[in-house]
């Protein structure tokens, strides 16, 4: 990522940084799905695997998959919102 600032631009430095890190300014708003998450489903261009965007999209998919796994595991054990629901002791680790 290249980021150049000249002495004349220092007064707008915060705005320049915000624009550079705003994905929409580089890729447009179609890079986001209806949940506001990064997605290439509606994106009209290919994303090269070695780019920051590709890494972020991959991480978003991993987070989404982990959320689905946790949700399913909560269903299996009857866990509704946290440790205290069943009085489970989070300090004690089973060695089974």
Q: Is residue 86 part of a domain?
A: no
1-5: average pLDDT: 71
Selected residue with higher pLDDT from 94 and 34? 34
Q: What is the pLDDT of residue 96?
A: 46
Q: Give the number of domains in the chain.
A: 1
Query: CA torsion 21→44→47→16, rounded to 10°?
Result: -10
CA dist., res. 39 & res. 58, Å (int): 9
The pLDDT of 23-40, averaged and rounded, is 80
Full domain range(s) for residue 21:
8-79
pLDDT at 62 over 90: yes
Q: What is the pTM of this model?
A: 0.55
Q: Is residue 49 part of a domain?
A: yes
* Residue 56 near residue 38 (C-beta atoms within 8 A): yes
The mean pLDDT value for 80-94 works out to 53
Greater confidence, 63 or 93?
63
Q: Spell out the SS3 assignment of 13-36.
A: HHHHHHHHHCHHHHHCHHHECCCC
Query: Is the pLDDT confidence value at 76 over 90?
Result: no
């Amino acid at each position: 990522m290249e980021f150049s600032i000249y002495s004349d631009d220092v007064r707008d430095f915060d705005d320049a940084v915000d624009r550079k890190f705003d994905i929409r300014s580089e890729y447009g708003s179609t890079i986001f799905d209806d949940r506001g998450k990064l997605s290439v489903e509606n994106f009209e261009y290919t994303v090269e695997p070695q780019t920051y965007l590709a890494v972020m999209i991959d991480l978003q998919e991993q987070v989404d998959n982990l959320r689905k796994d946790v949700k399913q595991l909560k269903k299996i054990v009857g866990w509704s919102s946290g440790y205290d629901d069943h009085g489970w002791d989070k300090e004690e680790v089973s060695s089974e």
